[in-house]
Structure 1
């Protein structure tokens, strides 16, 4: 019954809201939509900055509420969406749509295919120059419903000649180049985090930490099936502690509950903001984590990083710089878009990565 009510709210809004929201004159303001995860946003940061350089302060960025802290490092023009509330509450949905309508955007850019919320917004608001992307790790569905509503930019090939996913950053570059009719270099769209030293040093002092005198790590990711087993993770952290003779800082969410931690670990799970976590990572000697936002933040900031990398989107989200190194166990079912055929949690391509394989990559990074 709950699912039926949810669908009724979802569909009815598409008929009701266009009549309730009066059209405002369009301006030159540009809406850039990136309402997915922290890692996706950080990989997109160089692209966002290019849009801002191109259009100036006309650019507004719509992000998920858990990304707001990071987005405000790049622009003050941040609009926040709570994806959990969007379809659940007609009142919330109306207020957000009305807010976007009041700003009066003349252009909207959305490369995200897995966000039905952002597609719903664009279909209701019908911003004059709306651009959607044809496909990243999945194809845009129901393309005919966008006739006379949006321009759909044809995508790059989904897989390369080796059968692995084309890098998402390459898709984002291609999408932007087609919209703006420009050619950009790698440096033009290089992901970065503009975290001021004064801010990061204040955070280090707040938690009584010392730059370079600790390693940082995180158990958590966006999905439990992508999390490396906690007991094996602790073996790796124990080895690094003995190898470097320094403390370890645990950040992120408390997905594992009350895992017993040794004395050399300072547990800051749930005690930091997103920018606090970036600051702690920035001053660490070394970072290790699953393929998640904090791990991407680490290599982007040039911190020696080991990423435990699964096969669901293999090739799509690799580290771009030498500071980032991946460890993975190849399987013939890679590139499944996380529709794993096994019921295991975590999935086999994560769970079967050995402690010794991670340590080998860590030693390579440390040397």
Structure 2
């Protein structure tokens, strides 16, 4: 048999393997959702195979909101932490991006044996990182999405241009106004005018969302307008709350995780800020209106008011929030009318 009788295999140039990257997501739901929008932006512009390491209580929500693969960050016990480490090691990632800046996140990355570990050099973890960003990467004078973009090694975008995914809505509560009167962080983020606001929005159906910790506030709101308010505080899962928020006409919220969920879903939002700063953590997208006071001691970022007066919240009147709601509702109606004109009277069909 001559050489010409052997089968010939035609091969092209070998394709380089795409780098495998793990992103450790923030622990707070609001930070996580804001970060998720930046991660989606990175995913659209990189050849890296990205997976997310998400706190175990939020994995179902992230799987609903993002197509990226998710690993549950289990760490309630040493056994759970070892199981998470084993899963991460088995996936042979090339690099890990650390969006939290805690020492524990750096230690986890080090123990995971991932060769490239990129994050902000804080909390004494510089020895645990291989790509160290300066402490000044965290700058409360710019939007937090810039910090996340720096860690993820992509150019920052205007946060107003960021938005997440659309999801199926809860049809039962579609078209309502959703009130989110809570904020896990502390009372310096909780505006107390929601019950009165419910009476001023006299023609609207209202749904109250939150955890069991917000039941006192939700009960007072329901009492203010019993025929129009559905109190679901402490009665929904995160997934159920997300579907209700997705179908809302408007969300009125303190600076909380639900506020950021509404922004991620592109739902019109009135965001009330007390001790925190909208410069740093305002909702992403272009469908939010921020209401805040101009007292000299705000933002202080404290959980409770060091002076005991909570003026940053008390000086936000119900009238101001009502006007903000009217502006956002009118803008939504105007946008719907424009869409109808394009659909029925214009060129787009």
Secondary structure in structure 2 of the residue aligned to 1:281: helix
Report the Cα offset of residue 343 of structure 1: 6.5
Structure 1 vs Structure 2 CA RMSD: 2.9
Q: What is the aligned partner in structure 2 of residue 130 from structure 1?
A: 117
Q: What is the aligned partner in structure 1 of residue 243 from structure 2?
A: 279
C-alpha distance in 2 between matches for 1:48 and 1:183? 12
Secondary structure in structure 2 of the residue aligned to 1:255: helix
Contact 2:245 2:251 (8 Å CA) reproduced = yes
Q: What is the aligned partner in structure 2 of residue 219 from structure 1?
A: 181
Give the 3 Å change call, closer, same or farther, for CA 314–194 of structure 1 in structure 2.
Answer: closer
Q: What is the aligned partner in structure 1 of residue 44 from structure 2?
A: 53
Q: Of the candidates 55, 77, 87, which is equivalent to residue 64 of structure 1? A: 55
Give the 3 Å change call, closer, same or farther, for CA 220–37 of structure 1 in structure 2.
Answer: same
Contact 1:38 1:66 (8 Å CA) reproduced = no
Report the Cα offset of residue 103 of structure 1: 1.7
The answer as to 2:208 corresponding to 1:250 is yes
C-alpha distance in 1 between matches for 2:282 and 2:88? 34
Q: What is the aligned partner in structure 2 of residue 22 from structure 1?
A: none
Report the Cα offset of residue 167 of structure 1: 0.8
Report the Cα offset of residue 168 of structure 1: 0.4
Report the Cα offset of residue 62 of structure 1: 0.8
Q: What is the aligned partner in structure 1 of residue 30 from structure 2?
A: 39
Contact 2:146 2:157 (8 Å CA) reproduced = no
Contact 2:250 2:267 (8 Å CA) reproduced = yes
> Structure 2: which 5+ runs fail to align?
1-17, 331-349
Q: What is the aligned partner in structure 1 of residue 106 from structure 2?
A: 119
Report the Cα offset of residue 306 of structure 1: 0.7
Give the number of the structure whose alpha-carbon radius of gyration is greater. Answer: 2
C-alpha distance in 2 between matches for 1:95 and 1:347? 44
> Structure 1: which 5+ runs fail to align?
1-26, 135-139
Q: Of the candidates 226, 237, 247, which is equivalent to residue 198 of structure 2? A: 237
The answer as to 2:250 corresponding to 1:294 is no
C-alpha distance in 1 between matches for 2:187 and 2:74? 24
Report the Cα offset of residue 335 of structure 1: 4.0
The answer as to 2:151 corresponding to 1:175 is yes
1:348-359 alignment runs, 5 A limit: 348-359=311-322
Secondary structure in structure 2 of the residue aligned to 1:256: helix
Contact 2:37 2:264 (8 Å CA) reproduced = no
Q: What is the aligned partner in structure 2 of residue 304 from structure 1?
A: 268
Report the Cα offset of residue 348 of structure 1: 4.2
Residues paired across the two proteins, number: 306
Contact 2:178 2:252 (8 Å CA) reproduced = yes
Q: Of the candidates 63, 70, 74, which is equivalent to residue 78 of structure 1? A: 70
C-alpha distance in 2 between matches for 1:257 and 1:266? 12
Contact 1:52 1:59 (8 Å CA) reproduced = yes
Secondary structure in structure 2 of the residue aligned to 1:193: coil
C-alpha distance in 2 between matches for 1:144 and 1:175? 14
C-alpha distance in 2 between matches for 1:347 and 1:94? 44
C-alpha distance in 2 between matches for 1:127 and 1:297? 31
Report the Cα offset of residue 227 of structure 1: 4.3
The TM-score normalised by the length of structure 2 is 0.77
